[in-house]
Amino acid sequence: MSIQSSHIFVNLPVKNLEKSVSFFKQLGFEFENNMTNDDGAALIIGPTSYVMLLTEAYFKGFTKKEIADTSSQREVILTISAPSKEKVDELISLALTAGAQPANENVDDEFMYYGSFIDLDGHMWEVLYMQEIYMRSIERSIRKNTLRMLLKCNRRNVFQGSFAKSS
């Protein structure tokens, strides 16, 4: 069985925590106050997804390596979903107005639409919309594979149970 975590916390170093928090609030994000202090702030991405904006000094306490120089290196691309193409454009526009830099041209293909920006600390963010039909096919595939796996496990348990009784 594959590992399936219930939460994700992505840690990002920031140069100025107060400015970073203000930037993301201007985009409409909220923060989890119970996980926010002078060293870091928990940016709420979704019900169980967070980006921990950590001061560089605090972040350095978690790694022996240097913090990536985001002016010349890309350590990660964070991709978040949006419910429509219009919301992708709206979020990108808000980010640019709040001080972000443009990253790449928007991409519009058969299944998805996305745009990107570079935040105040040089981290690259993509905002992605996937057509509902495509999303439904992914959901159906997941349900189908999950059902198949459950049936397979159930057959195995039934077989093992009846084998143990007959021995």
Select the more confidently predicted residue: 113 or 139. 113
- Do 137 and 94 lie in one domain? The reply is no
- Do 99 and 137 lie in one domain? The reply is no
Domain assignment present for 104: yes
Q: What is the pLDDT of residue 166?
A: 45
Are the C-beta atoms of residues 69 and 114 closer than 8 Å to each other? no
Q: What is the pLDDT of residue 110?
A: 80
Domain assignment present for 72: yes
Q: DSSP for 81-121?
A: E-SSHHHHHHHHHHHHHTT-EE-S--EE-SSEEEEEEE-TT
**Whole-structure pTM value:** 0.77
- Do 141 and 88 lie in one domain? The reply is no
Task: With a cut of 70, say whether residue 158 has pLDDT above it.
Answer: no
pLDDT digits (tens, 9 = 90+) for 32-49: 999 999 999 999 999 999
Domain assignment present for 160: yes
- Tell me which residue range forms the domain holding 64: 8-130
Are the C-beta atoms of residues 40 and 55 closer than 8 Å to each other? yes
Q: What is the pLDDT of residue 134?
A: 58
- Do 117 and 141 lie in one domain? The reply is no
- Do 47 and 96 lie in one domain? The reply is yes
CATH number at residue 105: 3.10.180.10
| Count: domains in the chain | 2
- Do 60 and 95 lie in one domain? The reply is yes
pLDDT digits (tens, 9 = 90+) for 90-124: 999 999 999 999 999 999 988 899 999 999 999 99
pLDDT digits (tens, 9 = 90+) for 16-26: 999 999 999 99
- List the structure tokens of 44: 């709420």
- Do 126 and 146 lie in one domain? The reply is no
